[in-house]
Structure 1
Amino acid sequence: MPLDTETRYIMMEKLALTLITSKKKLRQYFESYTIIVYTDYPLKQVLNKPDLSGRLSKWAIELGTYDIRFLPRKAKKGQVLADFLVEIQYFTPDTLPELLKSEAKWVWTMHTNGASNSQGAGIGIVLEAPSGLKIEEVIRLKQFATNNKAEYEALIYGLELARDMGIRRLKVRGDSKLMIEQVVGNFDTKAPHLTSLLQKVTELQLQFHQLELIQVLREQNQKVDALAKLASAGECSRHFVIYTSQSPKASEVFSTSSEPECWMDPIIRYLSKFELPAHAKDTKLLCLQAQCYSIIHETLYRKSFNGPYLRCLRPSEAKKLLEEIHEGACGNHTGGRSLAHKALTAGYYWSYMMTEARDYARKCDKCQRFAPTIHQPAQALHSIIAPWPFAKWGMDVVGELPRAAGGKQYALIAIDYFTKWVIVEAYVTVSKTDTMSFVWKHIICQFGIPWEIVIDNGTPFQNAKKNLEDKKGAWVKELPKVLWAYRTTKRSSTGKSPYAMVYGTEAVIPTEVGLPSLRTEIASDLTTNNIQLM
């Protein structure tokens, strides 16, 4: 019997509690088999939400360790029959659109062509009505075929399509002289693999009142030739149909994405449609991998251990992201490990991201030209222990530097030993008053009174002086960019960037404006964001 408090649960909590109770009583079945749950409620979407709290969050974690699939309830037999009649209505000649009914008695024109290469074989068909309505089909053949066999396959499929549409008068145009002469009877067919295809064409000819085959030049058959080459090159995973007409209101397009298959597609198909690979080994591996992913607003995300959900990127999107982080507006041509860490902390993920980031950094032309060849320090390093953030600062004056705008020749630099946070200010001359103002404004007012300030350790600032001297007279203008790149780059001594050490989160990069991650989408509501920060 349910408790009195359980009877007051909302519907989603009652459904989740039912699964939890079933899991406790049938644990051996949950651990050994795939559990399929039929429900009309969006229970899967609720349990996969990243912002769950309370008992639902606890139950979602318990159920996430098992292979549970949620499917909609099966329709009644009467509804299935009604859906079947609706589906076959389009393909029945008696129920064709009125436009096709009125034109089926006239002579239609069909262009066919087949193409074959090392990547595969494909066929293209263009069926044109007397009114200008065009039906284009592109089909990729699963088995390898020669050019002649592909031409026959295109003709057979085109004749079957015209027959199913109720067309009885047809004019076929093709650029294969061998196929047309063999069908007409002028040439003999000696190849065994073409004899059966010719017999099929002969049987289809008897189902038309008028059928005329005309050979045309290749230049007159360019459009259907391009469709056949598109299919043979493997740029379409399945056939698609494009209906075009001279009237904009009658145009209707159905197409498939030409983006190549990537690592995300099997996971998306499994989570959204429960499609499994053909091999049992791949199926088991996919089921284990899919537990780390979730689909939110039709976008694939990876569950993170210590942060928000990570948006999964395709190879083209990952390449643009690496380019922006590495050499974009706020890039500093960092190494492969830091490059992958920046992408990960920004809220993105893709397969082999560490390897691709390392390869991208190695192939960068500017990094190869200007990277230092010696990475070992000139002197032995000494460990310095800072008790807490902003307690111990290192400060020094860098100069004389090339004269910049306003006559500035000196830079006053301060570094926090704990967070590695850097503060730089340019001056014409560094006096006692300037130093006191710098410490008061940039250290005490922002981070509190420090415990210790070291001013006689100038070795860490030699590299900064060299970098500023290389900028010549523009070193003052380059200071903000250099500071931003340094503060958002992961430090090997702390394992995090100085920005994350100070503010507790990574900085938002420009890429997240055009390609938003989960944290930028959640933070788009300023009111909610301010409440969460309080």
Structure 2
Amino acid sequence: MYLSVSEAATSSVLVKQEDGIQKPIYYTSKALLPAETRYSLAEKMALALITVARKLRPYFQAHKIGVCTNCPLKLILQKPEVSGRLTKWAIELSEFDVEYLPRTAIKAQAVADFVVEFTEPSIEVARMMVEQNKKVFKWQLRVDGSSNTHGSGAGVIVSTPEGDSVECALRFDFKATNNQAEYEALIAGLKVCTVLGADEVEIFSDSQVVVNQVLDEYQARDESMITYLELAKELLGRFKEYRIVHVPREENEQDDALAKLASATINIWPKSISMIRLLQPSIVKSKEVGAVFGERNSWITPIKEYLFNDVLPSDPLEAKWLKYRATRYSVLNGELYKRGYSRALQRCVGPEEAEGILRSIHSGNCGNHAGGVSLAHKTLRQGFYWPTLFADAKRVAARCEACQKIANNIRQPPELLQSITSPWPFAMWGIDLIGPMPTATGEAKHAIVAVDYFTQWVEAEPLVHITEANTVSFVKKNILYRFGIPNTIITDNGTQFDGRKFRELCDKYGINNYYASPAHPQTNGQTEAVNKIIKHNLKAKLATKKGSWADKLPQVLWAYRTTERGSTGETPYSMAYGADVGKNNNKSGKRSGSDTKNDLVTFKIFPL
């Protein structure tokens, strides 16, 4: 199968090879719709493949199809950041036995190119093509490479829609030819544009070789040039639209000066320019990533070997099942990731690492000694995946010594819950007290706990004395001034909740104050359940150091807030803030102007 695309159409040629001779079997072509003309080159190639797969479905079902193309279609369809349509097409193609091959013969490709050239575009597409040639791109990228006897380097200048300029000079710690330096400049510039959020870019380069190879006007013959070209096209495929233009050297003077500065032997440069050292060529990672495996043979190995080296099991059924599974996995920086249905990418973990991850989440600093199912869901939210996750989580929870010592011995038969519903977040709070407990730091012997009935968010503080003044202060600081005025507060009948000051507080802010039935704590059951969980987790964390419960209380609260609750299916944190807790820390200060963008480029693309 040979594919060809243009600005207005796609085409394909199905050939059969007998005795080294390729015989055409079928031709297909498709005039692109106006929206499809805005696809990137990679998306158009994928569209051509999915189109012929739908039109020639009987051939695809009955035979193994080899797709001969210089476009890295396999890598594009398996990228973690692909668009929704590419993911959909990849899953649709997974039912067929499709193999991606490098294009060697040119005869059948010439036929596909001939068909696409004579496929007339629609009137709207023809008009749009004329307008696109006149289009002014918001993002502009100027790149240049330099190689001399002193060293090699590159210069990158990105012009943003706001008029700012990001200037980077790259110094290479390896020998590079002039063409390699030009490609390194282009690749670095494309990475900068991707991090800065550009979706369309116009590229200016004074290298005639690089520009024409990207435009498929020149053929790359050297192995390193072919690898550079594939990497550049893969990065270009991330943009909705791009244009690459060859400019004379005199029109690229500023970028040429940056490249010469990077390749010079001096170590002093203007502060407005980010100077970055590259220890190895950009294509080294692409070559070596398939040869490194961190685990012994496990469930990850067959998927990795298929994605890296196209190695399939000898059993046809196993091979078909593996190809179907592999469409939901991607490789990023040498690690295997699974695409979740509603979550971000989840790193695939082998059995040797899985045990440590479960124990850390179960009983680590932020662990709450959760049960098996809850522990498994929390692990998924943290971005980890392996097939036996739920069974392993139940086993780890069952073998936890602290959990076994303080486990509840339930003798009462279960009954249907009579839940109290809240109309919106932070509208109804239940408040209760815990204690007396062992004397903690500051002579604290009690704790006051408040829980929101809608989100199940919990606030708690240690108390030295149970007084009405402390109760009023807690409500003001942890509820009113943090979440706003609630509609209802439910408490017990203690004097600290039924005194004059507490009633005046409720009357002042228009809060309905309801009291639980005497000797019947089930009427404030949500708070009682949270009290039990807090005491359970404190016991599991403290062991023999009972007096440090006040210091461990914030850890217990954080673990509770970030654990999925069975009644809502979400964590209290996500119910309160609309998103799961972030897993990355950003300690950098906030600044404006091009310096911030330069730092963003330096730390995100070229980590030191």
TM category (shorter chain) comes to 0.5 to 0.7
Which of the pair has more CA radius of gyration?
1
State whether structure 2 residue 559 is matched by structure 1 residue 485.
yes
Could you say if the C-alpha distance between residues 257 and 490 of structure 1 is closer, same or farther in structure 2, counting changes exceeding 3 Å? closer
- C-alpha separation between the residues in 2 aligned to 1:526 and 1:486? 36
Match of 1:269 among 302, 305, 310: 305
- C-alpha separation between the residues in 1 aligned to 2:309 and 2:418? 58
Secondary structure of the equivalent of 1:424? strand
- Cα contact 1:399–1:465 (8 A) shared by 2: no
Secondary structure of the equivalent of 2:567? coil
TM-score with structure 2 setting the length:
0.49
CA deviation after TM superposition for structure 1 residue 527, in Å: 6.8
In structure 2, the partner of 1:367 is 403
In structure 2, the partner of 1:422 is 458
In structure 1, the partner of 2:532 is 463
Structure 1: gaps spanning 5 or more residues: 77-254, 514-524, 529-534
Query: Cα deviations across residues 29-61 of structure 1 (Å, max 9, x unaligned)?
Result: 334544332222222222333333476566556
In structure 2, the partner of 1:44 is 74
- Cα contact 2:90–2:327 (8 A) shared by 1: no
Match of 2:368 among 311, 332, 340: 332
Secondary structure of the equivalent of 2:391? helix
Match of 2:347 among 295, 311, 314: 311
- C-alpha separation between the residues in 1 aligned to 2:569 and 2:70? 47
Match of 1:413 among 441, 449, 463: 449
In structure 2, the partner of 1:353 is 389
State whether structure 2 residue 356 is matched by structure 1 residue 282.
no
- Cα contact 2:69–2:101 (8 A) shared by 1: yes
Report the AA paired with residue 577 of structure 2: Y
Could you say if the C-alpha distance between residues 13 and 75 of structure 1 is closer, same or farther in structure 2, counting changes exceeding 3 Å? same
- Cα contact 2:91–2:327 (8 A) shared by 1: no
Query: Cα deviations across residues 229-253 of structure 1 (Å, max 9, x unaligned)?
Result: xxxxxxxxxxxxxxxxxxxxxxxxx
Report the AA paired with residue 48 of structure 2: T
CA deviation after TM superposition for structure 1 residue 394, in Å: 0.5
Residues paired across the two proteins, number: 338
- C-alpha separation between the residues in 2 aligned to 1:52 and 1:364? 41
State whether structure 2 residue 64 is matched by structure 1 residue 28.
no
CA deviation after TM superposition for structure 1 residue 399, in Å: 3.5
CA deviation after TM superposition for structure 1 residue 422, in Å: 0.8
- Higher relative contact order structure (alpha carbons within 8 Å, sequence separation ≥ 6): 2
Secondary structure of the equivalent of 1:304? coil
- C-alpha separation between the residues in 1 aligned to 2:396 and 2:311? 34
Could you say if the C-alpha distance between residues 466 and 447 of structure 1 is closer, same or farther in structure 2, counting changes exceeding 3 Å? closer
CA deviation after TM superposition for structure 1 residue 9, in Å: 4.9
Query: Cα deviations across residues 261-313 of structure 1 (Å, max 9, x unaligned)?
Result: 11111111122222111222322322232232222332211121111121111
Could you say if the C-alpha distance between residues 443 and 526 of structure 1 is closer, same or farther in structure 2, counting changes exceeding 3 Å? farther
- C-alpha separation between the residues in 1 aligned to 2:373 and 2:582? 19
- C-alpha separation between the residues in 2 aligned to 1:352 and 1:372? 27
- C-alpha separation between the residues in 1 aligned to 2:437 and 2:402? 25
| Residue pairs, 1:117-516, within 5 angstroms | 259-374=295-410, 376=412, 381-456=417-492, 457=516, 458=521, 460-461=527-528, 463=532, 472-507=546-581
Could you say if the C-alpha distance between residues 351 and 479 of structure 1 is closer, same or farther in structure 2, counting changes exceeding 3 Å? same
Secondary structure of the equivalent of 1:443? helix
Secondary structure of the equivalent of 2:450? strand
- Cα contact 2:78–2:329 (8 A) shared by 1: no
- C-alpha separation between the residues in 2 aligned to 1:374 and 1:301? 41
In structure 1, the partner of 2:110 is none
Report the AA paired with residue 45 of structure 2: L
- C-alpha separation between the residues in 2 aligned to 1:332 and 1:499? 15
CA deviation after TM superposition for structure 1 residue 344, in Å: 1.0
CA deviation after TM superposition for structure 1 residue 448, in Å: 2.4
CA deviation after TM superposition for structure 1 residue 410, in Å: 2.9
Secondary structure of the equivalent of 1:492? coil
Query: Cα deviations across residues 439-473 of structure 1 (Å, max 9, x unaligned)?
Result: 23222333222121111344543636855698643
- C-alpha separation between the residues in 2 aligned to 1:426 and 1:287? 56
- Cα contact 1:342–1:489 (8 A) shared by 2: yes
Query: Cα deviations across residues 411-455 of structure 1 (Å, max 9, x unaligned)?
Result: 221001122111001222344443333223222333222121111
- Cα contact 2:94–2:327 (8 A) shared by 1: yes
Query: Cα deviations across residues 154-191 of structure 1 (Å, max 9, x unaligned)?
Result: xxxxxxxxxxxxxxxxxxxxxxxxxxxxxxxxxxxxxx
- Cα contact 1:336–1:360 (8 A) shared by 2: yes
Could you say if the C-alpha distance between residues 526 and 290 of structure 1 is closer, same or farther in structure 2, counting changes exceeding 3 Å? farther
- Cα contact 1:311–1:349 (8 A) shared by 2: yes
Could you say if the C-alpha distance between residues 472 and 309 of structure 1 is closer, same or farther in structure 2, counting changes exceeding 3 Å? closer
Could you say if the C-alpha distance between residues 359 and 465 of structure 1 is closer, same or farther in structure 2, counting changes exceeding 3 Å? closer
Could you say if the C-alpha distance between residues 371 and 434 of structure 1 is closer, same or farther in structure 2, counting changes exceeding 3 Å? same
In structure 2, the partner of 1:248 is none
Percent identical = 45
Could you say if the C-alpha distance between residues 67 and 465 of structure 1 is closer, same or farther in structure 2, counting changes exceeding 3 Å? closer
- C-alpha separation between the residues in 2 aligned to 1:501 and 1:377? 31
Report the AA paired with residue 99 of structure 2: R
- C-alpha separation between the residues in 2 aligned to 1:4 and 1:351? 42
CA deviation after TM superposition for structure 1 residue 74, in Å: 4.1
- Cα contact 1:346–1:508 (8 A) shared by 2: no
Structure 2: gaps spanning 5 or more residues: 1-8, 10-30, 107-290, 493-515, 587-597, 602-608
In structure 2, the partner of 1:197 is none
Query: Cα deviations across residues 316-340 of structure 1 (Å, max 9, x unaligned)?
Result: 1111211211222222222221121
Report the AA paired with residue 19 of structure 1: L
- Cα contact 1:397–1:410 (8 A) shared by 2: yes
- C-alpha separation between the residues in 1 aligned to 2:451 and 2:399? 32
Secondary structure of the equivalent of 1:311? strand
- C-alpha separation between the residues in 1 aligned to 2:432 and 2:315? 65
